Structures are given as structure tokens and as C-alpha cells.
A and B are shown apart, each in its own frame.
Chain A
């Protein structure tokens, strides 16, 4: 079993839809959780990070962590064609970059 699982997609939604992207994990020691967005032929860019359980909101994006279920989600409201990208979750037990474990990513297409 992989440490971090993520639905690979692709996921296609119409413009304006609410998108839910999810990751599950097996290591209960993880306490730092991140979402990266990766456009085609580009490197990943950090979208959001959270520490421990709870919600965090930034504009149209909401990150949610449920440590009891080992489940994290990224919600995108009012999705736009510019949101079309691959979304990677990443997590770590320690606040050190070399400990990050990445999911395989979910490809999202937002259709105009």
C-alpha cells in the first residue's frame, strides 16, 4: 500500500462547478499537509498548507484535514478554466522538505 493515495482522474467539470480533490494516507505521524498545483510542462507551485486537523480557506480554495480518517481534501469553488491543472497533495511528519511525501496527482479540466 502506498503511503499517499490520490484519485488520478482525469476529472472534468463545467466552469463554475465546485470541485473536490481528495487524498488518503496511511502514516498517522503526518501532521503537515500541502496542496500543489502543477500546470502542464511546469513545476508544482504551493497552493495551500495546513498543520494538523481543521480547515483553511484562501479565496476560492479550502483545504480540509481529517486526521482521524487520514483524509485530506481541497475544494475549489466557482472553478475556472485557468484552474485546469494537476493537483498534488503532499504531507510530512516533520517540518522538513526532505520528508515530504507526494501523491501522484489528480488531473483536473474545467470546461468553459
Chain B
């Protein structure tokens, strides 16, 4: 069973607030990802990381930022929340076995964000 955690699970916040969504995994995985998922829509990759001190932007343009200071921790920050940021945010990790079998991703339960 995957051990990847996200907090908070639900967040309702006002416009302009700074928020940080937490993601932690205890599997020692090198690769971590943040996805955005709207109801009935595809998952869109917004950030990923190969390891400590490595972060990259994904395909979907996002006003959020991430950091990877520790292997197990990959927080996502919105400096100034807006209603357009309302969505579900999913964190995932994978062992990142180069040249091996498919890079299995393990997903956290998600954070549902509502910006008023």
C-alpha cells in the first residue's frame, strides 16, 4: 500500500490568501509530481521533481511554486489564491527506475481547494 499523504484534504479560503498544500511520502521515492484535476476532466501535470533541489514545471501553466528540500516532502504554494485556482490537487510519487519497467506512480488522496 502506498504511503503518500496530503494535507489538508479540504480547504476553503478567501481570495488573496497565501496557501501551502503539503505532500509527504515515506517510500523514499526520488520522483514526485503535482497534478490538477477538475471534475470530469483530465489530470494535468503542473510540477514535478527528480529529487532534492530539482523542480520542473509541467505541461499546464500554473501560478503555483514548489520546493524539494527533503526527499519525502514536496509542498506546493500559491502566493495569492484566486477563484480560478479552485480545483483538486493530487500529489504522486514514483521510484523513478531509469530503464526499468513502467514508472509506477502512487497518488495521494488529494486536496480539494475552494477559493471564494
Contacts and interface: CB of A to CB of B under 8 A. Distances in A.
Interface stretch (A42-50, A58-66, A77-85): A42-50
Interface string B34-47: 00000011111100
Contacts, number: 63
Given A100-B45, A103-B42, A95 B103 contact: yes
Interface size on B, as a range, is 20 to 34
A97 B103 contact: yes
Interface size on A, as a range, is 20 to 34
Given A102-B42, A104-B42, A96 B107 contact: no
B109 A42 contact: yes
Contacts of A71: none
Given A97-B94, A98-B45, A44 B102 contact: no
Residue of B90, B91, B101, B102 ringed by the most chain A CB atoms within 10 A = B102
B96 interface: yes
Nearest to A32: B102
Interface string A93-109: 00111101111110000
23 contacts: A8-B40, A34-B102, A41-B109, A41-B112, A42-B109, A44-B107, A45-B106, A45-B107, A46-B105, A49-B104, A88-B43, A90-B43, A95-B101, A97-B92, A97-B96, A98-B48, A100-B45, A100-B105, A102-B42, A102-B43, A102-B44, A104-B40, A104-B42
